[in-house]
Structures are given as C-alpha cells and as structure tokens.
Amino acid sequence: KQEVTQIPAALSVPEGENLVLNCSFTDSAIYNLQWFRQDPGKGLTSLLLIQSSQREQTSGRLNASLDKSSGRSTLYIAASQPGDSATYLCAAHNLDAQGGKLIFGQGTELSVKP
C-alpha cells in the first residue's frame, strides 16, 4: 500500500530565498508523481508531473526531481515570492488493474514573508 509523506509540514521563509520541499513514498513502482498547489479555500492546481521514466521537470522557477530507487521527490522553488505562499501537495500514482489513483501526502504549508 502506497504511503506518501511530506516534510516539513510548515515552512516560513523570507522573500527571495530558494527552498526545497520534500516528499517520500513507500512503493517505488509508481506510474508518475505530481506536485500540486492549494490556496486557502480553493481547489488544487497542478504544478508539475514527472513520469516514472523521468528524473525531473521544470516550469519557470519550479523544478521537481524524482528518485524512484530512494522513494523521494523534491520540489525546488527559486527566488521565492509572497505569491508562492500556499500549501504544496505531492501525490504518487501507482497503476493497478483498473488504472490506479493518486495517493497524497499531508502537504507542506509555505509562507513567504515580504
């Protein structure tokens, strides 16, 4: 059974800092791994999706890496801004006979101070 853990649960940084959010998963036979952002009271916005055959994906100031052998993914945010403040969720997708589903971590609540 897949379990996903995110560390830290909360993070507060000054504007401009580079930061790393960590995600670990117990079952390395993943189909893909996806990072989401959730603003308070809102739904989820997809940030990056890494296929099992890939090692990283980049979008603007965001870079996500995937190491299946160690069961880890990181989300790197460069030059953080107050607008980056949100909860960041990682989710692992394992295939099963029906297609599979995403299993989420508890999230990291990020606060970027001006």
Partner 1 sequence: GAGVSQSPSNKVTEKGKDVELRCDPISGHTALYWYRQSLGQGLEFLIYFQGNSAPDKSGLPSDRFSAERTGGSVSTLTIQRTQQEDSAVYLCASSFQGYGYTFGSGTRLTVV
Binding site for partner 1 (CB under 8 A): 31-32, 34, 36, 42-46, 49, 89, 91, 93, 95-96, 98-107
Residue carrying the six token digits 């297609």: 99
Sheet with 19-25: list strands edge to edge.
4-7, 19-25, 72-77, 62-67, 56-59
15 or 58: CB nearest partner 1:
58
CB of 81 to partner 1, least distance (A): 23
78 or 95: CB nearest partner 1:
95
18 or 45: CB nearest partner 1:
45
75 or 89: CB nearest partner 1:
89
d(CA 101, CA 89): 15
DSSP β-bridge partners for residue 24: 5, 72
CB of 111 to partner 1, least distance (A): 15
d(CA 107, CA 15): 21
